[in-house]
A and B are shown apart, each in its own frame.
Chain A
Amino acid sequence: ETGVTQTPRHLVMGMTNKKSLKCEQHLGHNAMYWYKQSAKKPLELMFVYSLEERVENNSVPSRFSPECPNSSHLFLHLHTLQPEDSALYLCASTQRLLDREGYNEQFFGPGTRLTVL
């Protein structure tokens, strides 16, 4: 629908598990983002990548580890998560990194609903 896909759509994991979230954009964009959305703090930016290079890391705990092997794919590796990490994890992309004077439509994927038990 939006050209950004995410898998899995739902994930339940224990605190000792290791899992990965995958995002793929089919839009030919150069910038990709990870957001966390929970009821208490909507749309928290986690990571920003531009042409596979991480350009922003918003004080995210090390139990979240991003990976961007190419400009179309973005992963979020999860390990030893806490119950408070339960949230909707959204991937997004833009044509290029933020253009302060230009057009910055952000395309979001459907998200992964993560529950940590």
Chain B
Amino acid sequence: GQQVMQIPQYQHVQEGEDFTTYCNSSTTLSNIQWYKQRPGGHPVFLIQLVKSGEVKKQKRLTFQFGEAKKNSSLHITATQTTDVGTYFCAVTPNSGYALNFGKGTSLLVTP
């Protein structure tokens, strides 16, 4: 299936600092999704990006889809302790019946 590399694996920031996680593919993607999983919780859908160069914002979160549709990023401005969790990207594979999830970036925010 279509694999995605997600970096970094872990990130530890001070509250108020910015955070970015990246998802990269060697092939062109039809779309990409982002999910957040809080500690002890389950993945929750955040957004889906479809168009080349698309940028979407949700409050302090900014999602980007690369012009070549091979990479995507999630940027959090001025992190808060509520942002703690693991952020996954997920892509639609060329074959198969389920999304391919990245390995996730675990974000820790200390006050």
A45 and B98 form a contact (CB under 8 A): yes
CB–CB A111/B99 < 8 A: no
Q: Which residue of A lies closest to B92 (CB)?
A: A100
Question: A104, B92: Cβ atoms under 8 Å?
Answer: yes
Residue of A45, A101, A103, A107 with most partner-chain B CB within 10 A: A45
Alpha-carbon gap, A91 to B104, bound state (A): 18
> Could you name 6 residue pairs across A and B whose Cβ atoms are closer than 8 Å?
A42-B101, A42-B104, A48-B98, A90-B43, A104-B48, A108-B44
**Residue positions of A touching B, CB distance < 8 A:** 2, 31, 33, 42-43, 45, 48, 50, 55-56, 90, 97-101, 103-111
Distance of B53 from chain A, by nearest CB (Å): 18
Interchain Cβ contacts within 8 Å, total number: 59
Q: Is B76 part of the contact surface with A, judged by Cβ < 8 Å?
A: no
Please tell me if the beta carbons of A110 and B101 are within 8 angstroms of each other in the complex: no
* Extra contacts besides A33-B98, A56-B96 (10): CB < 8 Å: A42-B86, A42-B88, A43-B104, A45-B98, A56-B97, A56-B98, A98-B92, A98-B93, A104-B33, A111-B42
Nearest neighbor of A33 in chain B, beta-carbon distance: B98
B75 at the interface (CB under 8 A from A): no
Is A109's CB under 8 angstroms from B97's CB? no
Size class of B's contact patch? 20 to 34
Q: How far is the CA of A108 from the CA of B33 in the complex (A)?
A: 14
User: What residues of chain B lie closer than 8 Å to A90, measured between beta carbons?
Assistant: 42-43
Contacts of B104 in A (CB 8 A): 42-43
- Whether a CB of chain A sits under 8 angstroms from the CB of B111 is no
Specify which chain A residues have a CB less than 8 angstroms from the CB of B70 in the assembled complex: none
State whether B42 touches A109 (Cβ < 8 A): yes
A48 touches B97 (CB 8 A): yes
Identify the 3 closest CB pairs spanning chains A and B, nearest first.
Answer: A108-B42, A43-B101, A48-B97
Contact B45 A105 (CB under 8 A): yes
Contact across chains for A110 and B41 when beta carbons are under 8 A apart: yes
Q: Does B30 contact A (CB under 8 A)?
A: yes
Contacts of A42 in B (CB 8 A): 86, 88, 101, 103-104
Whether a CB of chain A sits under 8 angstroms from the CB of B107 is: no
- Please state if A106 and B99 are interface contacts (CB–CB under 8 Å): yes
